Amino acid sequence: MTIHSPDRPFFLPPRSDENNGVDFLGLRQTNLDMMADMIPSINNVTDYIRPFSLVCWVFWKFYDLCSAAGLEDPSREDIDRFRERIEVLFSWGASMHHNGGRIPGTGAVPPAPTPDGQYPLTFSDWKRLQSSTSLIAALWYGPASKIVTGLGFLMPLAGKTGFFRVTGLGIHLAEALDAHLRSNEELYSRLLATLAPVTASREDAVTLWQTWAPDQILEAERVAFHSALFSDKEIGDRNGLLGKRSTTLALAIHHMRHCTSPAHVAEIRQGMALSIGQDGTSYTIPETLIPTRNSWLTLQMRQLQRLSMECLLSWCEDRILADRINETSAMAARFSQGWDGTENRFGDLTTVEDMIALLDAQADSIEGFIAAINEERLENPFDLIATIQQLFRARDPSFAHYAFLGMLLSVAYAGAAASETNSLRLGGAPRLSLDSLRRSMVGLGATSVREAFQYILEAMIISQHFSTAVNRFDGRNQRLRLAIEETGLEAMVGKSWEPTVTEDRLPTLLSLAAQSGIIARNEQNAFWEV
């Protein structure tokens, strides 16, 4: 697509629907980059081992069938037809039985069957898209399966789009699944082990699901995937993907050792960052895990920063839509009327400079910051996130006060964690890194809460939103939620934005680790060390 730069002023086309999205301040990518560095090669939807095995088996079996048929140069149509058939059968079975993790394509509506109950098995017939509902799609298991950035099971073939060679441990996954699928020789021969177009009945999909459902991991699959996901020898080495995954998982396991009962993901996430057990007792961690613990805490503080700032954009929209307040000065006045410094541990302090100094005095290092939280001298960032979310869901406008407090706590962390230069500067000024946030807030000096809040609205929320929207304008779709008119700010949406905390891949990592036998999990989805 070619986009022509405008050579004169023009009006944007009228909006035809709600302005949906997840990143109206441009902060999300930095969080995603930090997550990818902590837990590389997987994503938030790769919950199961079995789809990895299935993807490997598809390409492994395809080449096996081509060799047997004497097909030396298969076409893209050949591989797509075979892969789509397997994926349709798998997701069709999942849609009739599955109630757990995420599997692509389960929302597809079956096409009309033939009079004898047979269904075609192509994406076209099922109205599925390769780019979004295929196992190999970028949203799903594709990137996680590949070499270089993934778990190393598939290698793209140069000059052959859509073709992959199964490598290393991926071969073991494919071979283990193949032996298992052969347990039903009739279905295997008729539906799976052929290059010819075939159809299947609903009963066929049900029977196949009983064989390849993702909760039935084979021992050979478990062993192979364990080796790809985690290595004791790599713990502490953050230079490679396996080392980063292994070290982060080791940090989670270290927390589990200080739990008296199985722990849920939220508890493990917090324990990894704050080194505190279920009984509230702080514990020490090995030297090899400290850099990863520090990075993990930095990610969680960035999560707090992002949620706080995005909620302030939503609060700004609320004031326009619900209260018809169109000026930032009036918004700041409304905010300051409800601000209670005593309630927020600032006593009679009235300037941002003094508030930051009070917070800074509690800790001058990451260890000190963690101790201050565990000793309740500083707000717990996880509790603060929960409070903001709870008040936001209740549409209580006071969530803005806790969001402001979240920004101040993020500023204090950036001061205490000054040694973490690289992670604090991730995103730079354009994406308001933690370092940039601190510099801006400290630079406010002896300004009042009202003046500081007005500055935040204008320079960090509204201007940041305009910048993000303009940079992402593609010539057709505008992403502005606010506009500046003669009468002040106007909302270009019918309802305020509903920000959420970005998933950090920890649930996926723990799920895959449990299936691999590295840790254990119960029916309540709580984990413990094996």
Over residues 439-489, the pLDDT tens digits come to 999 999 999 999 999 999 999 999 999 999 888 776 666 788 999 998 899
Residue 231's contacts (CB-CB under 8 Å, 6 or more residues apart) are 242, 243, 246
> For 186-232, what is each residue's pLDDT tens digit?
999 999 999 999 999 999 999 999 999 998 899 999 999 999 999 99
Question: What sign does the CA torsion over 226, 230, 234, 240 have?
Answer: positive
Spacing of C-alpha 265 from chain mean position: 14
Residues 134 and 204 in one domain: yes
User: Which pLDDT tens digit goes with each residue over 161-192?
Assistant: 899 999 999 999 999 999 999 999 999 999 99
Helix residue spans in 4-146 (DSSP H): 28-38, 50-69, 76-97, 123-126, 130-133, 142-145
| Predicted confidence (pLDDT) per residue in 27-42, tens digit | 999 999 999 999 999 9
Same-domain pairing of 68 and 163: yes
State the Cα–Cα distance between residues 213 and 218, nearest whole angstrom. Answer: 11
Q: Which amino acid is at 144?
A: A
The string of DSSP codes covering 117-137 is: S-B--SHHHHT--HHHHSTTS
Contact 435, 425 (CB under 8 A): yes
At 128 the pLDDT is 94
Residue 385 makes CB contacts below 8 A (sequence gap 6+) with 303, 304, 307, 406, 501
Contact 406/460 with Cβ under 8 angstroms? no
- Nearest Cα residue to 509 out of 268, 195, 172: 268
Whether 258 maps to a domain, the answer reads yes
Is the domain of 258 the same as that of 140? no
85/164 same-domain check: yes
Residue 131 structural domain: 50-216
Structure confidence at residue 6 (pLDDT): 58
> Which residue, 58, 49, 214, 45, is CA-closest to 139?
45
Q: Do the domain assignments include residue 496? A: no
Same domain for 428 and 398: yes
Task: Report whether pLDDT(158) > 70.
Answer: yes
Mean pLDDT of 71-93: 95
Co-location of 178 and 246 in the same domain = no
Residues 367 and 255 in one domain: no
Kindly give, in sequence order, each residue whose CB lies less than 8 Å from that of residue 109, ignoring residues fewer than 6 positions away: 126, 127
Question: Could you tell me if 316 and 256 lie in one domain?
Answer: no
Classify residue 329: in a domain, yes or no: yes
CA distance 477 to 4: 14
517 and 406 in one domain? no
CA distance 494 to 279: 46
Residues 354 and 483 in one domain: yes
In angstroms, the CA 250 to CA 232 distance is 8
**411, 512: one domain:** no
> In the predicted model, is pLDDT for residue 1 greater than 50?
no
SS (H, E, C) 421-444: HHHHCCCCCCCCCHHHHHHHHHCC
| Cβ pair 46, 144 in contact under 8 A | yes
Please tell me what DSSP assigns to residue 505.
S
For residue 512, being part of any structural domain is answered with yes
Q: How many angstroms separate the CA atoms of 413 and 416, rounded? A: 5
In terms of residues, how long is the chain? 530
Same domain, 274 and 377: no
Would 56 be classed as within a structural domain? Answer: yes
User: Which CATH number characterizes residue 251's domain?
Assistant: 1.10.10
Q: Cα–Cα distance between 198 and 376 in angstroms, integer?
A: 65
Q: Please state, in angstroms and rounded to a whole number, the distance separating the CA atoms of residues 25 and 528.
A: 38
- Residue 163 backbone phi and psi in degrees, to 5: -105, 140
Q: How many domains does the chain have?
A: 3
Gyration radius of the chain's alpha carbons: 26
